[in-house]
Structure 1
Amino acid sequence: MIFTKIDGNIKEREDLGHVHVETAMVKSDDLAKSILRVKSDHHNEYGIRLEEGKLENGSFFFIDDHHVLVLNVIPEEMIVITPKDMDDCGIIAHMLGNMHKPVKVKGGKISLLYDPVVAKNLEKSNVEFKVEEIQLEESLRYVDLS
């Protein structure tokens, strides 16, 4: 079966108690794709070829009236940086930009997928960071300033 339209997000629907849920585990990078093949926890394979919209953690597709497929993002090791001030933020952003790393900036924190080279550079530059296991809601993106 190939899905071409996202039917919603499981977090926004409370009326799905009557349906059987199949779950497909995906990497956060997969959320940026419009064409994807997934295998559910019931060992069924499904294709996704989106005509519009973007995948998120919890996106679901109706298989039929009684079954639904839900995408669940696999938690990943992430570097989480909390800059001390605006100067620190600028220096860190410049460093990460030079390494061409997609990031998420939210709540005064900069998050990116764990990379030992990045971790070593941050340590060398005396930048404090934590490594945490995080389940992303959407794929990381490069900053678009256009």
Structure 2
Amino acid sequence: MPVRVQQEDFDLSSEVAQLRAGDARVGAVAAFVGLVRDMNEGAGVSEMALEHYPGMTEKALEAIVAEARGRWDLFDALVVHRVGTLQPQDQIVLVAVTSAHRGEAFAACEFIMDYLKTRAPFWKREVTPAGARWVDARESDEGAAARWAR
């Protein structure tokens, strides 16, 4: 399954090893791991809660992966996104792709992450010294995704 939404942490090394296992065509693996920061918008963050709409979220992520496969010559792709309550330095998301060449792997990995940030239905709530707050989408994320428009 190219997409998983889960509360459990993931192991980068194991996930990448499984993704490329037994495929001698693979010449490149590109991976991105997103982490919880301890600071956002000038305030300390003690925890972050991620919510999603089960079923809808997975379908949105699968559509993003399918679009990446249509744009680049990929052998495989994986998205693992965590939900629930996370602490600073916890892993949130893994995007990994395999291809014959690094250029396609890098581009597809970045595309998937940019679209995930703007098109996948996740809701984030941070706990700061001033209380809990919902995190709005960033203009910079929208700009990053817009560059992939055809």
TM-score w.r.t. the length of structure 1 is 0.25
TM-score w.r.t. the length of structure 2 is 0.24
Return the structure number with greater relative CO, CA threshold 8 A, min gap 6.
2
Q: Which has the higher helix share?
A: 2
